[in-house]
Structure 1
């Protein structure tokens, strides 16, 4: 019997109320073992910290292919495998190399229907013709709409009996051919207007216009979430009152999502060099599409990374930060605190961190402690925008 309690979330946030597995992982492992297929014909998608992959490997299966959206999950899988002395799996992106010849695909249900749509399309497109997709989740987070998404790509979708507050959905008989065109990103155009604000791409203009692209799994899709919009609305104050945007600043969009902040800043400040980084592969893919749609490939570099860990200390003049306040399905400030600590490390002495966060959170105190003096720029009933100066 595999000991799930030995698994850790590191390098992601760890806390007493957070663990590296749940009952859904156990049900998916049980289903795969009872199916009796070799590890080389199993693909695992959404295995947050490696629980499914390592339990199957512990049972003697090898050649398992795994895709995790979050780089923190990928690193946690490696760390857990090293601690357990486990091997027998390979990491892949969500592509044909992950799914070719796979007969059983185990999926931890993602939060968004768009992400599930992308996964179901990929399995139907590239897996074996007799492939079975087994998707599991916590019952309280499951909806009939998930069944509908799977039914668009498989002829049969059978919900299983719930156990330990989790349930599996078994989808079989893929219904569309590999020749079907690959899904394109969702795309929308946004205009940010502030008369006389300095938002301009050309002289005399008083608005900022850009295209936003999103693949499945990217937070808020191609829409502007209200936190990002709040920071965009504050950018004129950043342009007029910040020493960090003088000359040719080095800017980091930390946790870039679909790239709205990076692109908006690049359009407003042509001399700037920008690195947009996120721990989500879906976010990075979306940001790259957004950067290309706005013809900014020579100005913005996009990287998949955990809290800017590959970037040098003190390398940024300015950090733009819209930190998450969820860890999976849990509301938790830990992810935001990790990014604030990362922003402090990345910012040079005298540089600035501009942050937007839910007004009820205690981030201003954390920013003051980790970065330096922090002032409020704007505040609404839901969101606060602050400017922090990196202390010596």
Structure 2
């Protein structure tokens, strides 16, 4: 990536030579160009929110920015890109969306996320740290910035306008208004599950902002909850890509003697899973982990893995995450251990599972979804 401050070699994480997706886009380049052309004073506390793969943080490393992200993969990409760039990693603070933000922010740079709810939560959490002199600039591709995006900036921070488009990217300029009366933060959001989802019927769910389908139970998970295994004999169960944790919580309630590992690459998701688990008073042992699928889990240590894999990386459609999850599950499962997967019928996960496991059985299906079972031999 070429910037006004030089060139930077960047990669996504985990690195895959077959991956043609870049670690930056025109919105990152547009924001950096704007900062240079406007000679923006970057001597104070610079906060970069939602930096997807560390492009902005790496380019601004000499200004000692604070990065705030919901993504473990994005945070790891940032660490590696800083090292690749020869930057002083100690000068950059890497925070998550679950960490307290800096008390004072002089420059706030926001990479607009896919989730409007996550943007709302982030802006409301950061607003008390912003002062009248804070420079606030958002960035995103034209397709990512909507009227609702601008309304949110204006409602939480102050008067907002947009730039002209450049290479299908756009900037958001906001002037903080200290007299603005901000709304209360509605996140995390709590609701009650419907009565047709097995052991979790009528039970509470807690969602932090940005978690998939944060205000309702998505149809894929709903279908999965109706067809979960009984888990007989399973001592260690994994809710892989746990989201709000309803699948793992259902297994914890069904098999109180099992230890359940909830894992996701989203800090918001892991926090949601723990809150959902606690809200249901589930018995037994549970662990809540943020990471890259099952990397770090000992081989042969797991009896049952339950998975509803994502098939988007931000706005790009990709099966890379599902492939990593399936491979990680195969390695972590003991011989005879099972992987249960729910997915859209058209994604063809059965083909990948047969290649990895040697077999794949259809457990249940409807016109849109399938539940698949693969056994580790």
* TM-score, normalised with respect to structure 2: 0.91
SS in 2 for 1:388: strand
Q: Among residues 302, 321, 332, which one is paired with 1:346 in the alignment? A: 332
Question: Where does residue 86 of structure 1 map in the other structure?
Answer: 87
Counterpart of 2:51 in structure 1 is 47
Q: 1:250 to 1:324 in 2, by over 3 A?
A: same
Q: How far has the Cα of 1:46 moved from its partner?
A: 0.9
Match of 2:212 in 1: 219
SS where residue 347 of structure 2 aligns?
coil
Give the 5 Å matches for 1:201-240.
208-235=201-228, 238-239=229-230
Residue 288 of structure 2 corresponds to which residue in structure 1? 302
CA distance in 2, matches of 1:226, 1:179: 34
Indicate the residue corresponding to 1:77 in structure 2: 78
1:379 matched to 2:365? The reply is yes
Aligned counterpart in structure 1 of residue 142 of structure 2, from 109, 119, 139 = 139
Q: Distance in 1 between matches of 2:13 and 2:201?
A: 40
CA 288–6 in structure 1, closer or farther in 2 if over 3 Å, else same: same
Q: Aligned with 1:209: secondary structure?
A: coil
TM (norm. structure 1) is 0.88
Compute the displacement of 1:388 (Å): 0.7
Range 358-367 or range 252-261, more displaced: 358-367
1:83 CA displacement: 1.3
Q: Deviations over 1:217-275 (max 9, x none)?
A: 1111042111111211112xx22xxxxx2245210001001111111111222222100
> Aligned partners of 1:259 and 1:389: how far apart in 2?
23
Conservation of the 8 A alpha-carbon contact between 2:336 and 2:375:
yes
Distance 1:297 1:51, change over 3 A: farther
Alignment of 1:316-335 (within 5 A): 316-335=302-321
Cα 1:178–1:286 shift into 2, 3 Å: farther
Q: Quote the Cα distance in structure 1 between the aligned partners of 2:292 and 2:193.
A: 28
- CA distance 1:366–1:22, shift in 2 (3 Å): same
Structure 1 gap ranges (5+): 201-206, 240-244
C-alpha distance in structure 1 between counterparts of 2:139 and 2:81, whole Å: 22
Task: Report SS of the residue matched to 1:136.
Answer: strand
Does the aligned pair in 2 maintain the 1:373–1:390 contact within 8 Å? no
Name 1:261's counterpart in structure 2.
247
> Using a 3 Å threshold, how does the CA distance of structure 1 residues 263 and 119 change in structure 2: closer, same or farther?
same
RMSD: 2.3
Match for 1:154 among 142, 152, 157? 157
Contact 2:112 2:144 in 1 (8 A): no
Q: Which of the residues 31, 35, 59 maps onto 1:32?
A: 35
Distance in 2 (CA, whole Å) between partners of 1:90 and 1:14 is: 29
Aligned residue in 2 for 1:110: 113
1:289 to 275, 281, 285: 275
Structure 2 match to 1:277: 263
Q: Deviations over 1:33-57 (max 9, x none)?
A: 4353235421001111111011112
Of the three residues 347, 368, 371, the one matched with 2:354 is 368
The SS at the match of 1:191 is coil
1:190 aligns with 2:183: no
Cα distance in 2 between the residues matched to 1:74 and 1:168:
23
3-state DSSP of counterpart to 1:263: helix
Q: Where does residue 242 of structure 1 map in the other structure?
A: none
